[in-house]
Every structure is written in structure tokens, then in C-alpha cells.
């Protein structure tokens, strides 16, 4: 039946590398099913799907991406994921970290998370900053006078690593609003351009970047730029980045969508996704040697992290956004 439908329509992260991993690898296994893949950010997916649904149109089968747009908008158009799982290697919890699936939604049904990784990365220039000094940095250190005009921050007022970092700061009892005010008083520089910020770091214009994208940083590191990544010495948080999936409740190609979903969550599918992204996945049988930073990206067993991608955490975002706009403007 899936072969008769002939195709599956997938929205996923932008970028040619991920597009190839999420289409070509699948079609090697299922040559009779064409993947029509559109790379879109979460901010673009939500209004597109909403307008289509309001018009009575069901034009997409599956969305792979971050949890915020799914939780806030797409969940109401989604079906429970587990009813579509048919492969034993996908359904069996033994293949998954902790022996269970991870969902971002409160119901534990719709938004299956297949990637959880450590967030809160900072970027620095090892020619300017001693690596040992960076490794010993405490959050509050950045509010001291010596750091004035030396800190970049991925704009926390828009979705992305800067925003999740801000929510983590705001909601931690040992940090909170006063810590963010301290950064503002130290004239932290906000920017939405990851590449430009990392280039500023590499040129020594700024000393530290908060909310750095590991993917963007490793691209420059591999090109030989003087950029390095590290974490604060205190505990950090976990993020799903663009590593979660929903299947819509009225799919135009239900059988092909089921096959694609099971392929994605199989060892073969998540290995393709992980190799293309450089990020870890929650399947325990997927290799890790290709990860951007195998040692530090994977959450450590026994360590408690704030989960920045769950519906429970996202419910706090409105008050954090209002506070950030008060401090930094709109």
C-alpha cells in the first residue's frame, strides 16, 4: 500500500547535508517511495501547517525538528506516535536510553524526542583565552568588571540556543533574573548571526560567546579557525535541538508515512541523522565516534540536567521572554 501511495512528504531541518541523510538513505531501502523533503525552521513550519489545516488541506505527513513549534502549535494536529511503530527494533524499549521513549509533550504521546544532548556551550579563542581559565569559569564570573564589553550572547529573544540558555539562567535558583541583569549591565552584546559571532571570537574582538552552536563552531574549527568550545564548571541543561518528530493525524500518505517514521527511528535512520548533524541520539546501538564532541555532548548518566525542550519547561517561556524584552528591548 505504501508503494501505491508512492511518496511521503516530510518537513525537516534546512541544510543540504541533513536533507540528503533524511532522503537518499531512506530511498536506498525503499526505492518505490519518494521523499518530498522541505527544509524549514520551526518558526516557518508552524504558520505554514496552521494555514493549510485551516484551509482544510492535509499536505504533510511528518515533521522533524525542534520541540517548541511542535508543542506550541503542531501538537494539536498530531497523532500518537506509538500507534505507528511496527519494527521490533523501534518498539522495543531496550534499544533506547533508559529503556524507554522520551516525549516532550506532557501527554507523553505526540512529540517523540530522539536526540538529547548537553547545551549551554560557550565559544572562545584559545589564542586569547587560556583553556584552563575557561574550564574553571563560573556563571557569575561574567558579571564581574573584567568581562565588561567582552561577552557575546546568541540573541535570547528568539528561538535557538541563546533563548534556551536564557531560560536556564532565569529558572535556576542560584542565577535567576539578577544574573541576566548582571550580564546586561556588563554590556553583553546580542547577535543573531552565529557565523559572525564566531568570526568575532576568532579575531579576538570578544572573549566569550554564550549560547554557541556546536555545529557552527565545529565547521570553523575544522577549517582551522582559532575557536574552541567548552562548558561552564556548573551543571548545564539538555536540549533536543532539531531532534524530535511528529506524525500528523490526517496524513496524505499514511502507509508511506508509517514506513518512513519507522525507518527514521531505526538504527539505520538515526545513524544517518546523527552522522549528518554530529549530534547524539537516544538509541543505544547507534555509533558515536562521528559526534562533534562524543565525550561532552552526551548527557552523563547519573547527572541531573534541566530539560529545556519539554512542554513543562516551555510553559515558562512567556515570562522569560517578557523579562528579556524588559532588559534588552524588543
Residue 281, Cβ density class (10 Å: 0-12 exposed, 13-18 middle, ≥19 buried): buried
Among candidate residues 129, 150, 152, the one with its CA nearest the CA of residue 209: 152
What does the alpha-carbon distance between residue 58 and residue 12 come to, in Å, rounded to a whole number? 17
What are the tens digits of pLDDT across the range 179-215? 999 999 999 999 999 999 999 999 999 999 999 988 8
Is the distance from CB of 85 to CB of 265 less than 8 angstroms? Answer: yes
Calculate mean pLDDT across residues 209-226.
92
Residue 266 has pLDDT above 80, yes or no: yes
Q: What is the pLDDT of residue 178?
A: 97
Q: What is the pLDDT of residue 5?
A: 86
Q: What is the pLDDT of residue 108?
A: 97
pTM, whole model, 2 decimals?
A: 0.91
Q: What is the mean pLDDT of the chain?
A: 94
Among candidate residues 61, 59, 7, the one with its CA nearest the CA of residue 32: 7
What are the tens digits of pLDDT across the range 166-180? 999 999 999 999 999
Q: What b/e readout covers 48-73, taking b as 16+ CB neighbours within 10 angstroms? A: ebeeebeeeebebbbbbbbbbbbbeb
Q: What is the pLDDT of residue 316?
A: 87
Q: What is the pLDDT of residue 256?
A: 96
Give CA 53 to chain center in angstroms: 26
Q: What is the pLDDT of residue 235?
A: 84
pLDDT tier for residue 245 given thresholds of 50, 70 and 90: very high
Residue 270 has pLDDT above 90, yes or no: yes
Q: What is the pLDDT of residue 257?
A: 97
What are the tens digits of pLDDT across the range 40-55? 988 899 999 999 999 9
Residue 2 has pLDDT above 80, yes or no: no
Among candidate residues 245, 230, 233, 234, the one with its CA nearest the CA of residue 297: 230
Q: What is the pLDDT of residue 298?
A: 92
Q: What is the pLDDT of residue 301?
A: 86
Amino acid at each position: 500500500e505504501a508503494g501505491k501511495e508512492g511518496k511521503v512528504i516530510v518537513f525537516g531541518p534546512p541544510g543540504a547535508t541533513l536533507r540528503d541523510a533524511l532522503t537518499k538513505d531512506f530511498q536506498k531501502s525503499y526505492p518505490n517511495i519518494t521523499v518530498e523533503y522541505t527544509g524549514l525552521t520551526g518558526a516557518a513550519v508552524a504558520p505554514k501547517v496552521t494555514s493549510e489545516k485551516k484551509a482544510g488541506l492535509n499536505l504533510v505527513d511528518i515533521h522533524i525538528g525542534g520541540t517548541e513549534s511542535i508543542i506550541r502549535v503542531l501538537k494539536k494536529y498530531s497523532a500518537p506516535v506509538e500507534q505507528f511503530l511496527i519494527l521490533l527494533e523501534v518498539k522495543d524499549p531496550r534499544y533506547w536510553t533508559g529503556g524507554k521513549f522520551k516525549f516532550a509533550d506532557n501527554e507523553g504521546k505526540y512529540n517523540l524526542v530522539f536526540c538529547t544532548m548537553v547545551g549551554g556551550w560557550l565559544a572562545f579563542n584559545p589564542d586569547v583565552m587560556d583553556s584552563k581559565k575557561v574550564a574553571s569559569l563560573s556563571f557569575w564570573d561574567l558579571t564581574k568588571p573584567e568581562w565588561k564589553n567582552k561577552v557575546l550572547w546568541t540573541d535570547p529573544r528568539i528561538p535557538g540556543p541563546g533563548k534556551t540558555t536564557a531560560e536556564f539562567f532565569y529558572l535556576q535558583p542560584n542565577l535567576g533574573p539578577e544574573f541576566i541583569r548582571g550580564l546586561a549591565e556588563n554590556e553583553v552584546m546580542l547577535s543573531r548571526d552565529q557565523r559572525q559571532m564566531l568570526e568575532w571570537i576568532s579575531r579576538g574582538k570578544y572573549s566569550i560567546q554564550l549560547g554557541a552552536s556546536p555545529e557552527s563552531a565545529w565547521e570553523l574549527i575544522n577549517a582551522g579557525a582559532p575557536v574552541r568550545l567548552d562548558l561552564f564548571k556548573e551543571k548545564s541543561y539538555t536540549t533536543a535541538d532539531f531532534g524530535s518528530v511528529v506524525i500528523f493525524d490526517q496524513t496524505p500518505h499514511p502507509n508511506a508515512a508509517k514506513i518512513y517514521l519507522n525507518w527514521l527511528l531505526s538504527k539505520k535512520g538515526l545513524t544517518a541523522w546523527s552522522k549528518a548533524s554530529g549530534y547524539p541520539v537516544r538509541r543505544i546501538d547507534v555509533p558515536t565516534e562521528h559526534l562533534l564532541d562524543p565525550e561532552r555532548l552526551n548527557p552523563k548518566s547519573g547527572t541531573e540536567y534541566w530539560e529545556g525542550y519539554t512542554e513543562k519547561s516551555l510553559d515558562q517561556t512567556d515570562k522569560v521572554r517578557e523579562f528579556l524584552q524588559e532588559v534588552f528591548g524588543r
